Each structure stands twice: as C-alpha cells, then as structure tokens.
Amino acid sequence: MQTQAKVVNALTDRSDCLIVTAFGNSQWSPAAASLEAKAGQVATLCKREGFKGKAGETLLFTTPEGTQAKRVLILGLGSAEPTPSSFQNAWSKALDALKNTPVKSLTLDLDGVNVADRDAGWIGRQIAFQLGLGQYRFTRCKSRKPDASPFAPTKLTLGVGKPDVSAARTGLTEGTALANGTNLTRELGDLPGNICTPSYLASEARKLAKGQQKLSAKILDEKQMKELGMGSLLSVSAGSDQPAKLIVMEYKGAAKNKAPVALVGKGITFDTGGISLKPGAGMDEMKYDMCGAASVFGCMRTLLELQPKINVVAVVAASENMPNGNATKPGDIVTSMSGQTIEILNTDAEGRLVLCDALTYVERFKPRAVVDVATLTGACVIALGSHATGLYSNRDELADALLSAGEECGDRAWRMPLWDEYQKQLDSNFADMANIGGREAGSVTAACFLSRFTNKYPWAHLDIAGTAWRSGAAKGATGRPVPLLMHYLLKQSA
C-alpha cells in the first residue's frame, strides 16, 4: 500500500473516500467546516441523521457536495484531543463503516486533530497499522476463495498540518511495516499443525533471510542440539515423528560491537499435552502454541522493512508435543543445557522445557537484554484474561521499558511478581527442580522456572496465552505482542 502525508485540501481531494472529523456538539474540524462552508449540506444531513460527533460515530455521504472526492465519511472523535484509546477505537469504527464500500484510495484529513500525549508519528503509525491489519484474510486452506473485500485501499493519504508532515510520514512507514509483520505472525499462527511443523518454521526462516544482507538464518537439528546438551528441549520432541529445530536468526543493523537484544520464541507447533494428554474439547486451538515463535518471525519481518540501527538475535525453539511410545513420561528426569536437572511431573508443561535450553543458548551472543515470548500458561489467562500480556522480569529497567512500550502502542502488558517465595514450589526430591509448582500461581511458578536459566543477563518473560489468539466465532491469531516488541526495539535503536 502506498502511503503519504501532506497538507490536504478537502475541497479538491479526488480520493474514493475522504474522511473528515467532528468533535461533538456540532463542532467541526477545519476540513469538515470547509465542506459545510462550500456546500452547506454537512450540518443539515448530520442533524437529519442524528449525528452528533460522538467518539466512534460515523456518517457516510455517497453523493457529497463541495468536494471532488467520490464519498465523504464524517468520523466522530468526541473531542479535538481524544485519548489514544478513544482515537484507536474511532478509527476502527471508520474502517468498519467502509468495509463494504469500494475504496481504492483513501484520504484521512486530521488537520486540527491532536491525540492526547501523542505526536503525529504515533497517529500515522496507528492509522497505517490498523488499516493494514484490516486487510488480513486467511484463505490459504480454502478450496474456494471468498470474494475479495470491496474495501481494499492501495493508497492512503494522511492530511496533517505542515509542521507534522515529516513525523506523520515516518509513522505511516512504521505502521505499514508493523502491520506486515503482525499479519505474518497471524498467518503462521492460523496455519494448521499438519502444515506448520518445526521444519516448516525452519524453511520460513530461510525464506525470510534469503538474499538479505542484514538477516541470516541458521537451523540446528536434533543431533546438534544433543551435542550441546539440550536434554530438556529434546525431551519434548521425543514423542513426535517431527524432528525439533532450533532456529537462529540474526538481524545486524548496527555495529558489530553493539550487544544485541535477543528474542526467544516458544514454537510448539502442536501441543497434545504429551503423555499428560489434554482434554479433547478445544484441542484444535493448540496449533496456536507456537504464537510466541510466530511473533518473533513477525518482528524480524518488520525489522527487515524498517532497517533500524540495532542488532537483534531471534531464537525459536520449535517442536511438537506428542504421545508416542518414545514420549517423555511423568516422573522422568532430564538434564538441561545449563547442567541443571529437571523432574518432569507434567508433560503438558512443555513450553518451559524448550525455552530453558533456548535461554541458555542465547548466552553465547552476550545480549544486553533477552525477552522470551510464549503461550505458556492457562493460569495467565485466568489471572489477566485476554486484555493484558503477563510480564515477568529480573530487571526493573527492562520491565519498565516493555510496559511503557505496550502502553504507548496499545498492546499492553501487566507486570506480575517474581518473588523468591514462589521458587520453593518447584522443589523436587529427585532433581534440581520440578517443571511444575502446583495449582497456586501457575503463571508465576512457570516464570520462576525460566528465571533459573537467566542469571547472566537482563531478562523478561511475556506470557501471551491470553492475548495471542481469539476463540469462538472470531477465532484467529491476533499477532500480539508484535506491536509491543517492535515499539520497544525501535526505542532501543534510537
């Protein structure tokens, strides 16, 4: 999609749809006021339709007067300085209002609009990001492709005041790249487990890096992992005919001596629970147990488009968790790459078993920070629902940076405790630790388990079990937390 930011004249705009704004109580933006002054129909039609400019209200003119645009949509913002969440919701309503309208070129005139505590760059990023997300459709596995949506903009123009043009352009570029990366995450998440296997993820990494100067991909097979002592990770793949893969991608956008940020993704491409078999109802959604890995892929795609000056290492621990005759059994003890031994009391707590070896592996890159991303625990869903990602960290500075990034971009997280008092729940009579800590504070003890492998660097853990996908009629991957992670990474590159 082509994007541009410039000063827009609502009276001469020739787009398929021009969007202007209203602020409630019959207060118009400069663009809407100019249309009213030219043709005198805006106020009359709004009064007739009961449109008052409340946040999220929309009114579509299919035969507008006073402009050369084919259509005009008036979007209510409620205020000339809406809150960030109010603005995001209003823009979403505008896109909903146009979803059945044939639009190829779209102009949004926001001159005179300010979002509280946000700049024009943020506005441009949100506009392009939400528009890009709306274009995603999963059609790969359908024999009959659904009819294309008539609303398929190929050109977006954002109208702002002259001082804001440069920042808005940057925001549009970032938002478009972020949408592309997030949609890749959604695509990988929505693929079924018989297609999206560990080997498939490995091939996708190679494809992403092909021909790229700043991105490389390396794949470790099970023989190499065994030589490294990754007994914990390999205990998960033992029950599957699909071999595990450790996928390593390196984005080099800064000088070689700049320590990288490391992203570690849980890539369980299907999770039956292993010998500790899950209930059958809803098990189809366990194809989403690799959404942590998918979000890492989405970040690497976005980095390639934006080319920021930062070094990022991505490590994906990819495996299936299946219950064949070779599968790990409850009570088995394995040795991790770190040398620590683990008593596996529940084979359905497998995500932490693949992650702990990946977290040990990233030590070799001497990272300045490590963030792991995982659909780790149902307990996090109970604690936080589907609105916030659970965040744990061994460094306040890193936690604060991630929380701030989430607040700014609208992909929020909530910090959870990582206190020593919880560690004793992982005590084992037979090994250095158990892989579960009982019913109490299940998300916390899972993070405590991971923390035992992160003493050599600043580390944060994002539990996205509640935010990575939706169930029900709208079932599908959300692409979270790509926005949070990318906002954090771009801040680190500044």
Q: Please state the φ and ψ torsions of residue 47, each to the nearest 5 degrees.
A: -65, -45
Q: How far apart are CA 340 and CA 361, in angstroms?
A: 14
Cis peptide before 82 (omega within 30 of 0): no
Q: Which residue carries 């299936």 as its tokens?
A: 320
- Rounded to an integer, what is the distance from CA 301 to the centroid of its chain? 12
412 assigned to active site: no
SS (H, E, C) 393-415: ECCHHHHHHHHHHHHHHCCCEEE
Helix (H, G, I), strand (E, B) or coil at 10: coil
- At 373, is the secondary structure helix, strand, or coil? strand
Q: How far apart are the first and last CA of the chain?
A: 26
Q: 278 catalytic, yes or no?
A: yes
Segment (H or E) for 166: helix 165-190
Per DSSP, what are the bridge partners of residue 261?
312, 369
CB count within 10 Å of CB 21 equals: 27
Q: The tokens of 5 are what?
A: 């930011």
Phi, psi of 468, deg, nearest 5: -75, -25
Q: How far is CA 396 from CA 415, 418, 419, 444, in A?
A: 10, 11, 13, 17
- What's the full length of the chain, in residues? 494
Contact 261, 313 (CB under 8 A): yes
Please tell me the distance from the alpha carbon of residue 203 to that of residue 433, in angstroms, as a whole number: 35
Q: How far apart are CA 244 and CA 322, in angstroms?
A: 12
Q: Indicate which residue of 6, 214, 258, 278 is catalytic.
A: 278
CA 462 vs. chain centroid, Å, equals 11
Say if residues 365 and 262 touch (Cβ distance below 8 Å): yes
Query: Which tokens belong to 112?
Result: 């005179």
For residues 165 and 311, give the distance between their C-alpha atoms in angstroms, rounded to a whole number.
29
Q: Is there a contact between 244 and 198 (Cβ–Cβ < 8 Å)? A: yes
Catalytic residue among 245, 266, 352, 480: 352
Token pair listed for 282: 């809803």
Strands 58-61 and 72-76, bridge-based pairing: antiparallel
Spacing of C-alpha 31 from chain mean position: 34
**141 SS3 class:** coil
Specify the DSSP class assigned to residue 244.
Answer: P
Please list the active-site residues: 278, 352
